[in-house]
Amino acid sequence: MIGHGFMGAAHSQGWRVAPRFFELEANPVMQLVVGRSAGAVADAAEKWGWAESATDWREAIERDDIDVIDIVTPGDSHAEIAIAALEAGKHVLCEKPLANTVDEAMAMADAATRAAARGVFAMLGHTYRRVPAATFARDLVAAGRLGDIHQVRASYQQDWLTDPATPLVWRLQKEHAGSGALGDIGAHIIDLSQFITGMRLASVSGTLETIIARRPILHSSSGLGGTGGTELGDVTVDDVALFTGRFDSGVLGIFEATRFATGRKNALRVEVSGSKGALAFDLEDLNSLQFYDATVDATLQGFTKILVTEPEHPYIAAWWPAGHMLGYEHAFSNQVKDFVDAITSGTQPTPSFDDGLQVQRVLAAVESSSHNGSAWTAITHESGSPS
């Protein structure tokens, strides 16, 4: 695993726990974790159960005893590491968003295509797909329970930047993060809405806003925390992204990604309305799904809360008895299960790097639209930037 910290902890949990609950054809061995600071990465290895630590990611790629590279670094290093790993014959799991630019994402997708021809596979870590209720929502739509889709609404609301004293961490610097709320959490609602509905966004009209333009420069290394000094630096990414999208089916969707929703800690919600019914998934109530059946008698209509904990629901049979809840971390184990199953069966795991490239193109189109007065902008499939 290249990188550690918040996502490193979540991925480590997935690798450690998955083979203890799922019957996997190959057993993951947590051999090596890599970080920039020898002391910090050694502590992470001991805490999360990695056998060894190192400070140069190239070591992991050069070693013959490493089969999989898991990338949990900031976006500015994804392309270099992933392409090198795939060319070296390593399977790759990479955290979202795929890259910082469409051009980088295209290079990664091309490398993944070439590698797949040799039986080497790459997967993007859109982990919320692996929340059982989200997967079940996808299944209901695919089975036609909502009929013709009429509209999609998706939002991801957080509030961790509302304090102006929050320091200038890497997530607020375009050269490291690529974009702000748009890429960090907006990528999730783009992917999840497309995953659940089976539709893809074809054009967007959006607006980006940076609410606090300067923040204290960080004087200690950490993901979201650290201590800022009195010197201020420029925030070079968005704090809020609002956009409308039209799917390839013609259906409209409305999207919001914000780090300034005071009081909202990790509020991801996707709602889909159709001719026969509707559903709503809420990450802050992740063991349930709201479902409305418009085909039953009017006296029985109303949103029903489905507790997605039965063994017949996606992933649940491997876990606890019905009604015994899962949490945020379980999706990472489900992700490992799907990734390992795909590798051992010789099939392309999803979401693929091609899927990640498509999301990257949506992000680029939203940014372009915002720069052009919220003009409707097509999702291009030809070059690095939308026209």
- Residue 98 has what pLDDT? 97
- Residue 384 has what pLDDT? 39
Quick one: how far is CA 144 from the chain centroid?
Answer: 26
Query: What is the residue whose two structure tokens read 């947590």?
Result: 30
Both tokens assigned to 38: 């020898």
Confidence label for 116 from pLDDT (cuts 50, 70 and 90): very high
Confidence label for 346 from pLDDT (cuts 50, 70 and 90): very high
Q: Go through the domains of the chain in sequence order and give each one's CATH number.
A: 6-128 (3.40.50.720), 132-349 (3.30.360.10)
Compute the average pLDDT of residues 48-66: 97
- Residue 10 has what pLDDT? 98
Among 105, 98, 146, 110, which Cα is nearest to 281's? 146
Q: Is residue 27 predicted with pLDDT exceeding 60?
A: yes
Both tokens assigned to 263: 């009081």
Lowest-confidence pick of 45-59, 211-225, 346-360: 211-225
Q: Is residue 228 predicted with pLDDT exceeding 80?
A: no
- Residue 230 has what pLDDT? 80
- Residue 248 has what pLDDT? 97
pLDDT digits 0-9 by tens, 154-178: 999 999 999 999 999 999 999 999 9
* In contact, 257 and 182? CB cutoff 8 Å: yes
- Residue 220 has what pLDDT? 54
pLDDT digits 0-9 by tens, 95-114: 999 999 999 999 999 999 99
Beta strands 149-157 and 252-258, pairing class: parallel
Determine the Cα–Cα distance for residues 134 and 44; give it in Å rounded to an integer.
31
Determine the Cα–Cα distance for residues 311 and 322; give it in Å rounded to an integer.
7
Tell me which of 34 and 225 has the higher pLDDT.
34
Confidence label for 380 from pLDDT (cuts 50, 70 and 90): confident
- Residue 224 has what pLDDT? 46
- Residue 161 has what pLDDT? 96
Q: Is residue 139 predicted with pLDDT exceeding 50?
A: yes
